[in-house]
Structure 1
Amino acid sequence: MGQTSAYLHILTLLGCLLILYLCLLSIAPSHFRHREGELCFASYYGDHMVLQRSPERAVLWGYGPEGEQVTVYLSGPIKQESSPVTVTKGIWRVTLNPVEAGGPYNVTVALQNTSATLTDVLFGDVWLCGGQSNMYFKTSEIFNASEELALADKYPHVRTFMVALRMSDTELTDLKGVALPWSVTESSGLAEFSAVCWLFGRYMYDNLKYPIGLVESCWGGTPVEAWSSSSALQKCGLKGTQRSKTANSVLWNAMIHPLLNMTLKGAIWYQGEQNVYYHQDKYNCSFPAMIDDWREAFHLGSGGQTALDFPFGFVQLSTYIKGSTDDGFPNIRWHQTADRGFVPNSRLQRTFMAVAMDLPDETSPYGTIHPRDKQDVAYRLTLGARAVAYNDTDVAFLGPFPKQILSTPMHVNITYDQIVSVTPSEDIFEICCSQSQAQCGPQSVWIPAPIKHWGPTTIQIAAHVCPPSTAVAAVRYAWKDWPCDFKACPVYSANAVLPAPPFIIIKR
């Protein structure tokens, strides 16, 4: 009986290992899945996917027998046939002619005696969603999650794909793993998908009325350095670190570089919390450098099909610790704009930003650093995308920002670039009193300056709090980790939809 029991135990163990192997095989990328010489598509192509619509041209690539000639066929509302291409170093690559939004299509790559086909392929706009845990935050975890998941069936033309969490010390040609393959979104699959990414795609579909492809590639607790190439980091004087998911370039290598052949419409990004504690002072260089580098790399990787200045949207950090006096979060918010306070600007062109500091979640079961209101975040990103990516001149996407600051011994008058909606506050504005502007920095004494009066485009704050023989040398707004309660900051756009972003302005 003992030998029989041991034998059955071994068989059971082998069976479990076989099941595990098959499961891993089912999500493994094609460069693991395919046998050498086998004709197939690369890892992130699949049934139900979205390819970039015209005027850009979608890029297709995969694996095949060395030296063979392959042809790609498109069948559906229109038909295409590529010129034969030669498999070189085991890889074939074809750039389709432009295809208008719509579908469905079948995409077939064929040799003389064999072929591989993708079915139910749509053409639309493809957006890449990157960052750390607030982008990774699941749709099943947001406010009103059950209602959101129930809507999934009404959006069969918003398709999702999720890159598996992997690292690499070298730049990979293809993905190491796929967490969620391309799918017609349903509640079960959407539950694990990025909430910000999904909501952004759904809102964009409501506006555009054609297919949207969403590619999620993000990992919680990761700094911008992990998502940046070595060449981008060198521009900011950043050196290598130990091997972990926070190490320089390890996620760029494994989770971004393999996607470079993909033709994209644009990208959205939610990250920065980790850099509060890691190279905080470099973020005003490292974040813009990463954007520049991604743009150039995707442009080259797609053979010029992804725009060299493709639109890039990001979420300005929300909140973490109520009552904190640490400047880490406000510093990163400022650095996210390349120290300008707003985007787009001369350093960050064709970018857009969702301000989120007025969306705290004090009772979030996932920690206050993970607010559950991702609907407002995604909606604000959508406004920026409509204006920047789609040139919609009728959409307001920027909160109020100062265009002039004048001071007297008693008051500071702030003139904004648009009509403002104002509620009183005693402490969200602060002034630095000094005889020298050079003395106004993060370690300076900042004195709360109450709002005294306001008009359609102006706010007047108190300046008499400055000691004798000093004057107002600098003004800042919302320079706190947790500057206000939910949607209760003092300054918004005229319709009270868009919050004024934080700023720090040194008078010259």
Structure 2
Amino acid sequence: MAIRLCGVFILVAASIHECDGVLRFASYYKDHMVLQKSPERAVVWGYGSEGAQVKFTLSGQHQQKISQATVTNGTWRVTLDPVEAGGPYNVTAAVQNITAVLTDVLFGDVWLCGGQSNMLFEVSGVFKIFNASEELKRAAHYPHVRTFMASQKKSETEQTDLIDIQIPWSVQPANLAGFSAVCWLFGRNLYDKLQYPIGLVESCWATTPIEAWSSARALQQCGLLHESKSRKRYLTPKDNSVLWNAMIHPLLNMTIKGAIWYQGESNYIYHQKKYSCSFPAMIDDWRMAFHQGSGGQTAPDFPFGFVQLSTWKKNSKSDAYPNIRWHQTADTGFVPNSRMQNTFMAVAMDLPDETSPYYPIHPRDKQDVAFRLSLGARAVAYGEQDVAFRGPFPSQILSTPKYLEVTYDQEVSVTPSENIFEICCSESESPWDLQAHWVLAPIMQWGPTTVQLSTSLCSPTEQVAALRYAWRDWPCDFKACPIYSASKILPAPPFISTNLQPKDDGM
């Protein structure tokens, strides 16, 4: 970005915090950026000399002059009138003969992309997705999908602005190789449908727990507000709130449309049982903070999409990954639900990658993940009717002495399987009985919306106390789970249920 100081144009220094006191935009306002379109109002802010009167102008397809903003405590801020999708525009801030200018600015929808390594997973960088070279070539057809990436920084205190920038706002395919694949592919899919600009803001860090991305407020709600042991030695990216402070809090003034999230692997052991609280609490807190930070422009319930964890260890006997998948839905099994409203989820447990050079915990198929996320965004964020975005989920489970009958909330495509459904056999009819145990429940037969499961592996003296589906780290091979939507596009998510109802033989 170029600015004019006393009539001379110069380049802004590489360090985004140099030249404090001189008129400039905040770190993430750069040439080629995307600002949030109408009906929301974009917020623009920056730095200047105390008490200065800043004149702000938007020029391009239309011209819009904003009344003067006063620099207070070193910063100035304006909230634009609503601007329809499109561009390009020039954005100018001026104090007497000093100006700061942003060029080639578009208006569209701005999405924040957060999480750990699977969101960080690049199109073609240290990590490389399937068909990376083709995706890079294809990117040239999407000049209105713009990308920005915050640098990986941590802080003990909440920062007003980003400490540094990894990738400035870019027109593709510039800088795309090192950008988040899920974020890019999600935005590209949205553009294909919406046909107006999409701005993508990446803020990710590998091997980080949710506690690092959560404010002290959110952590307190879940009994997680304590000092990390590591903080006594040095600050790590796994400490409470350090990434919230440095990589999310600085963005709060930005008006955004929504957020997507891919994280949870680092919590498969660390505070695993708390994830059903910490994840919804983080979402709620981000929503509140972005709404307040943008002066009420970002919706207080902005849409939030996430990826349910994929796979890691093929023959693992651990319940850790299934538990986290369940906790990602606030122990409901699907979203949106009463605890996690205005959310959407991409199921990914059927997308394992056993030969991934980055280990199976990093599957290379991000295209299907992003496609499933985009379906959720179209339905939840954009209210598109008749868009299927959720896989089949049980609406009723009936029990007889010989079988269980599972009725789904939609038509299903079924492949026979003997090893993905499990029943809990219990002498006391309680799944928490010390003698209760899980056995396989083979699929016997099925109909358009129902699946019958054998209960023969329970002994004659035992009752079926619970049912679970795909309750394993690696429940099935690539796109080969037994239950999908009728279109075979969306997999049924994992579930566990004790809500088994006796079936009336007269039915």
TM-score by length of 1: 0.93
The one of 230, 248, 264 equivalent to 2:216 is 230
Letter in 2 for 1:450: P
Contact 1:236 1:285 in 2 (8 A): yes
Letter in 2 for 1:216: E
Letter in 2 for 1:474: A
Contact 2:425 2:431 in 1 (8 A): no
Match in the other structure for 2:60: 76
Match in the other structure for 2:6: none
Deviations 1:118-156 (A, max 9, x none): 000000000000000000000010000000001111000
Q: Secondary structure at the match of 1:360?
A: coil
- % identical aligned pairs: 70
The one of 158, 179, 195 equivalent to 2:145 is 158
Deviations 1:398-421 (A, max 9, x none): 100000001111000000000000
Match in the other structure for 1:370: 362
Deviations 1:420-464 (A, max 9, x none): 000010110000011445434899521011000000000000012
Give how far 1:507 is off. 2.8
Match in the other structure for 1:143: 130
Where do 5+ consecutive residues of structure 2 fail to align? 1-11, 501-507
Match in the other structure for 1:107: 91
Contact 1:64 1:91 in 2 (8 A): yes
Distance 2:448 2:373 in 1: 26
Distance 1:362 1:442 in 2: 35
Distance 1:373 1:489 in 2: 16
Distance 2:435 2:54 in 1: 64
Q: Secondary structure at the match of 2:456?
A: coil
Q: Which is richer in helix? A: 1
The one of 182, 192, 196 equivalent to 2:178 is 192
Letter in 2 for 1:395: V
Q: Report the RMSD for the aligned CA atoms in angstroms.
A: 1.2
The one of 338, 341, 346 equivalent to 2:333 is 341
Distance 2:78 2:435 in 1: 56
Distance 1:158 1:450 in 2: 47
Deviations 1:96-139 (A, max 9, x none): 00000000000000111111000000000000000000000000
Deviations 1:267-317 (A, max 9, x none): 000000000021001000000000000000000000000000000000000
Match in the other structure for 1:6: none
Distance 1:478 1:442 in 2: 23
Contact 2:120 2:180 in 1 (8 A): yes
Distance 2:368 2:290 in 1: 29
**Structure 2 residue 75 is matched with structure 1 residue 91:** yes
The one of 284, 288, 291 equivalent to 1:299 is 291
Match in the other structure for 2:195: 209
Deviations 1:446-495 (A, max 9, x none): 10110000000000000121112221110000000000000000000000
Letter in 2 for 1:229: S
Letter in 2 for 1:230: A
Match in the other structure for 1:45: 29
Distance 1:224 1:444 in 2: 33
The one of 389, 398, 409 equivalent to 2:390 is 398
**Structure 2 residue 154 is matched with structure 1 residue 167:** yes
Q: How many residues align?
A: 480
Q: Secondary structure at the match of 2:244?
A: helix
Match in the other structure for 2:8: none
Distance 1:496 1:352 in 2: 19
Match in the other structure for 1:122: 106
The 5 A counterparts of 1:289-438 are 289-438=281-430
Match in the other structure for 1:19: none
Match in the other structure for 1:16: none
Distance 1:264 1:27 in 2: 26
